[in-house]
Amino acid sequence: PDVIIEAQFDDNDAEHGQDHLQDTLADDITKLSLDAGEKGDGVHRTKQDDGPKVNDPRLLPDKFLQRTAKVVYILEKKHSRAATGFIKLLADKNSELFRRCAMFSPVDHRVPRAYVSLADCPPDFMTRPEDYSNMLFICRIVDWKEDSNFATGQLAKSLGQAGEIEPETEGILTEYGVDFSDFSPEALECLPQSLPWVISPGEMAKRRDLR
């Protein structure tokens, strides 16, 4: 579903090249325009009337048309909208956006870059951005405006230095929406309270020992 087919050509098209395809298209359009004129109702038509018919996509063969579609409903959101990455200052220091936002660059290049508010960044990020060049952050994409080249994100937390096991692991679990928080007291109460816990002899008699 992620693949967009731009065009489909048969073996003949690939063999003869683009010029052959253009010639074929021109011949088909000419034939269609002539056929439309022959099947007329006898009324005299001027060249101005015939113009739109040549450009009418309904008269073209299906092989020359690019089918289009429209998304009507989001059935399921497959991505958590959270990503691990780095923050850096914007390149244009004279812009209004430079004083309000920073750029978040995800480690996973399939996730788009996002503007994040400087209020979410560390307090000394503007004065010492080099201190955070190797610091991993978790950002969650919250919006993407139609007139913007980048998404809008919100920094969730700082994970630590890139390359270390703990920050990298936490980042992966967060990206995939895995709940790694501590068990609740209600869940812990279901476990045996008297320790060390052992299997009773009666229970052992009913089981097959695979040790």
pLDDT of residue 77: 81
121 is written with which tokens? 């960044």
125 pLDDT above the threshold of 90: yes
DSSP-assigned beta bridge partners for residue 116? 102, 153
Q: How many CA atoms lie within 13 A of 5 on its CB side?
A: 11
d(CA 117, CA 103): 9
The pLDDT-based confidence of 112 (bands split at 50, 70, 90) is: very high
What is the average per-residue pLDDT within 86-95? Answer: 90
pLDDT of residue 138: 94
pLDDT of residue 211: 86
* Mean model confidence pLDDT for the chain: 81
56 is written with which tokens? 């009418």
The packing angle between helices 18-38 and 47-54, to 10°, is 130
d(CA 87, CA 115): 9
Region of 105 (left: φ > 0; alpha: ψ -120 to 50; beta: rest) is: beta
pLDDT of residue 142: 92
Q: Where are the domains of the chain?
A: 82-176
What is the average per-residue pLDDT within 197-207? Answer: 90
**Which of 182, 125, 180, 179 lies closest to 155 in space, CA to CA?**
125
Give the pLDDT confidence of 144-169 residue by residue, as tens digits: 998 889 999 999 889 988 889 999 99
Give the pLDDT confidence of 26-41 residue by residue, as tens digits: 676 666 666 555 555 5
d(CA 211, CA 208): 9
Q: E strands of the chain, at which residues?
A: 82-88, 101-106, 114-117, 135-143, 151-161
Output 75 or 6, whichever has higher pLDDT: 75
Burial of 124-147, coded b for 16+ CB within 10 Å and e otherwise, reads ebeeeeeebeebbbbbebeeeeee
In this structure, whether the domain defined by 82-176 belongs to CATH 2.40.50.700 is answered with yes
